[in-house]
Structure 1
Amino acid sequence: MILRQYKPEDKEKCVEIFQSNYPKFFDKSELSLFIDWLDHQVGNGSTYQSPTYTNSKKDAYFVIEHPEIGIIGCGGFYIVKDKNEARLAWGMIHSNFHKQGYGTALYKYRNEIINKEWPNHILVLGTSQHTYSFYEKMGMTITTKIKAGYGPDLDRYDMTR
């Protein structure tokens, strides 16, 4: 397994990963936001905005590449300007590869970078009722729950560590 920086040629595979997790883990309305995030990562002048994103000091996106299969996961983070906050963003593993340790590897990879470069920052993320327990196992705690916060069937769980 290789974790590396996202490249423009990874976009199609990352969109496929998103689609493999719809409708359980993402609302369909989030696809356009995700595509904007991917375009923003490659510096093509694309502006990214979401309900939780503010202008960042830094944002980064990574992919997990399986040597025999190709890209099976992706996820990133951004460092919020004027706050001591690092927010995890758009983390996902292709649905065919859930519960095999790839999500844990992706979380730890991003967490390690954040801890090294921004050791005093609080780690923050928004997730759903389907994945919050995974992040609890990683040491994060729920700060807020919003019924239907991401869509009619997706509650929003804000978490910190």
Structure 2
Amino acid sequence: MKKQNEETQIRAYQKSDKQELIELIKLNIPTYFEESEEKDFIEYLEKYKEDYFVVESKTTKKIIGCGGVNYFLDEPTALARMSWDIIHPNFQGQGIGKCLLLHRINHIKKQNIKLIVVRTSQLAYKFYQKAGFELEKVEKDFWAKGFDLYQMKMSL
């Protein structure tokens, strides 16, 4: 991994992080998220998050990334789904997203789950493809107009 690991830490989300995460998603609108998704993200943090992690700069103590995992154990094949990955625009392309993704994959492996799904857009699917996820389906304008669903999976 890159030197960036020495400058960041990944830790569990705390309620006190919420406002900083809202600012983080705002920095990624409209590039990676549609404006209405801010409200969906807040609702996710309040009602639907299960395992959620933040990437924090060790020097500034500012959050520069976040991402979660939700579990669907009642499915025919128990699966985990990556949820709400967001990286601060100033830190994209530096390996932080990859570190966070690998952290969550390792977290999932400890729970004996064999399938991971990610639902992303045409704007980020190549990131997951490079990590080993395979494209399952595409649905146009799923998240919002101009934001298509790219559903991907990875078998463990």
- TM-score category, normalised to shorter length: 0.7 to 0.9
The sequence identity of aligned pairs, in percent, is: 37
Residue 153 of structure 1: how far off its partner (Å): 1.4
2:146 aligns to what?
Answer: 153
**Number of residue pairs aligned between Structure 1 and Structure 2:** 144
Equivalent of 2:25 in 11, 18, 24:
18
Point out where structure 1 has 5 or more consecutive residues left out of the alignment.
41-47, 49-57
Pick from 46, 54, 59: which aligns with 1:68? 59
Find 2:134's aligned residue among 136, 141, 148: 141
1:7 aligns with 2:14: yes
Pairs within 5 Å for 1:80-159: 80-83=72-75, 84-118=78-112, 120-159=113-152
1:36 aligned partner: 43
TM-score by length of 2: 0.88
Question: RMSD in angstroms over aligned alpha carbons?
Answer: 1.3
Displacement of 1:155:
1.1
1:21-53 deviations in whole A, cap 9, x for unaligned? 11121111111111011123xxxxxxx4xxxxx
Distance 1:121 1:28 in 2: 34
Runs of 4+ in 1 over 4 A off after TM superposition: none
Gaps of 5+ in 2: 1-7
Q: How many angstroms apart in 1 are the aligned matches of 2:136 and 2:97?
A: 22
TM-score, normalised relative to structure 1? 0.85
Letter in 2 for 1:75: G
Please tell me the residue identity of whatever aligns with 2:35: K
